[in-house]
């Protein structure tokens, strides 16, 4: 008996998303085991340069997996927005704390500053945190000795800026940053995935017809590159 119907195959994007989710869980278990193991080592071994490399690359890998999974959920309208009132100082402090070991191992001074005491923002702290964490991780790669987080209100929007004292963003990247935000730019040697993800998360935050956005600049607070996310 013949049929004109094609057999239904697996949707590759769904398979990929499921695999990314499993990889993320496996990485978390791996790092838990690694931290338990290093806790039993003498300080001179536990704080070695190799330890810093493993910590940094694991955070970087986790960030990429979070972005891939988030973009998949955005594509199928399954990424929930859970905004809540957040104390901005606590939020920035938590982001730096996630990178404390790496900053210490690389002798990078990480600090934060909030324009006014008790500043509150109505944001999805988990989604915005994933963007800020990714930017901090990238800044660690290029910073010489310092990373600075700053937050303030501008035109009824919360602005969070992450600055470093590195060489700054390449001129071509600044000139064509809108292309990075729109998607992949292979000619640069970078996928632009992090910027695309950051823009999409920013856009989910909107109020009175104004959408969030991101922006890149040089000559930031520390003289190097500066990433900003604007959240209405």
Range scoring the smallest mean pLDDT among 42-46, 112-116, 158-162: 42-46
**pLDDT greater than 70 at residue 1:** no
3 state SS of 140:
helix
pLDDT tens, residue by residue, 61-79: 877 787 777 777 777 776 7
Q: How many residues does the chain have?
A: 232
% of the chain at pLDDT higher than 70: 84
What average pLDDT does the segment 129-152 reach? Answer: 93
Report the 10 Å Cβ neighbour count for 136. Answer: 24
DSSP state of 183: S
pLDDT at position 218 is 92
**pLDDT greater than 90 at residue 151:** yes
Report the 10 Å Cβ neighbour count for 107. Answer: 10
Write down the pTM of the prediction. Answer: 0.76
Under the banding of pLDDT at 50, 70 and 90, the label for residue 58 is confident
**pLDDT greater than 90 at residue 14:** no
**pLDDT greater than 50 at residue 128:** yes
3-state secondary structure 37-65: HHHCCCHHHHCCHHHHHHHHHHHHHHHHH
Q: Is 143 left (phi over 0), alpha (psi -120 to 50) or beta?
A: beta
**pLDDT greater than 50 at residue 188:** no
CATH architecture of 84-231: 2-Layer Sandwich (3.30)
- Higher-confidence residue of 75 and 107: namely 107
pLDDT at position 9 is 55
3-state secondary structure 65-133: HHHHHHHHHHHCCCCCCCCEEEEHHHHHHHHHHHCHHHHHHCCCEEEEEECCCCCEEEECHHHHHHHHH
Q: Which residue has the tokens 């969070």?
A: 160
- Higher-confidence residue of 24 and 84: namely 84
């Amino acid at each position: 008996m013949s049929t004109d119907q094609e057999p239904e195959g697996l949707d590759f994007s769904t398979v990929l998303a499921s695999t990314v989710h499993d990889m993320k869980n496996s990485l978390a278990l791996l790092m838990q085991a690694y931290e338990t193991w290093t806790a039993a080592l003498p300080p001179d071994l536990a704080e070695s340069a190799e330890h810093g490399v493993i910590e940094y690359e694991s955070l970087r890998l986790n960030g990429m997996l979070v972005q891939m999974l988030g973009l998949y959920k955005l594509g199928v309208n399954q990424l929930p927005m859970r905004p809540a009132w957040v104390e901005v100082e606590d939020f920035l402090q938590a982001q730096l704390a996630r990178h404390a070991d790496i900053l210490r191992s690389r002798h990078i001074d990480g600090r934060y500053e909030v324009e006014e005491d008790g500043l509150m923002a109505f944001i999805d702290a988990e989604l915005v945190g994933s963007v800020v964490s990714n930017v901090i991780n990238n800044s660690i790669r290029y910073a010489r000795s310092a990373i600075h987080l700053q937050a303030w209100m501008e035109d009824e929007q919360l602005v969070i800026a992450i600055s470093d004292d590195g060489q700054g963003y390449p001129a071509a990247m600044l000139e064509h940053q809108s292309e990075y935000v729109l998607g992949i730019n292979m000619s640069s040697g970078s996928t632009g995935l992090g910027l695309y993800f950051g823009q999409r998360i920013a856009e989910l935050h909107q109020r009175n017809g104004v959408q969030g956005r991101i922006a890149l600049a040089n000559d930031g607070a520390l003289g190097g590159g500066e990433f900003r996310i604007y959240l209405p």
